[in-house]
Each structure stands twice: as structure tokens, then as C-alpha cells.
Structure 1
């Protein structure tokens, strides 16, 4: 599981951008207390949906 801070560093965006993705339901997250965590599978889906060229499954 990733924190919002880790996601923002990974994509070189501001933390508020990650929160916006979560709020707009573009990036699924789990709320634990006052923090969000993002599963590896959800992050992969998020990336795959934004590819300019579809991934070929062989």
C-alpha cells in the first residue's frame, strides 16, 4: 500500500493533486483514520486507464 505522499513523489505532482484524484474517484483509496492508502492493484489500474496506447495482452 502506498501513501498519498509516495504517489505524489512517484508522479512528480503536488499532494493536493493526489487528493483531488481520490476525491474525484479517479484513484481508488482506503481511508485509514485521517490518511489514505492506495493499493498496488488500484495504482496499476489507474495507470493502465491513462495509457495513450493500450497494453497488449498476449
Structure 2
């Protein structure tokens, strides 16, 4: 029997409100960064998803 503790998983993408919450960036500024191409988005029907890696990249670049 394995005694492994489950490791928390990182989301692949988040919706706009969650992206704002995770980064501390306001909605208007987030959309500005998207328009500038500094944050990547993926549209799935009417849903806009922000890849988690794109948010991490923005914050790591400073």
C-alpha cells in the first residue's frame, strides 16, 4: 500500500475574475494587458480563459 500524500495541482487556465484575484490586477488593467499581448487568452465559446502559465510569466517578468 502506498502512503503518498496527494500533491496540489496547478490549474491549466482560469477565468477573468480568478485571474484578477490571483494577480491582484484589476479587471480593466487585465484587459489592457491582454490587448497589448502581454497576457494570452483562449476563447472557448463565450468563455475567456487565461492560461495559468501566462499569468505566472507576467508576474515573473515583473
- The reply to whether TM is greater than 0.5 is yes
1:38 corresponds to:
50
Q: Deviations over 1:28-52 (max 9, x none)?
A: 11122343211122222112111xx
Dislocated runs of 4+, deviation >3 Å: none
Gaps of 5+ in 2: 1-12
Q: Which has more radius of gyration?
A: 2
C-alpha deviation, 1:10, in angstroms: 2.1
TM-score, normalising length from structure 2?
Answer: 0.63
TM-score, normalising length from structure 1?
Answer: 0.66
C-alpha deviation, 1:9, in angstroms: 1.7
Please, what is the CA RMSD of the aligned residues? 1.6
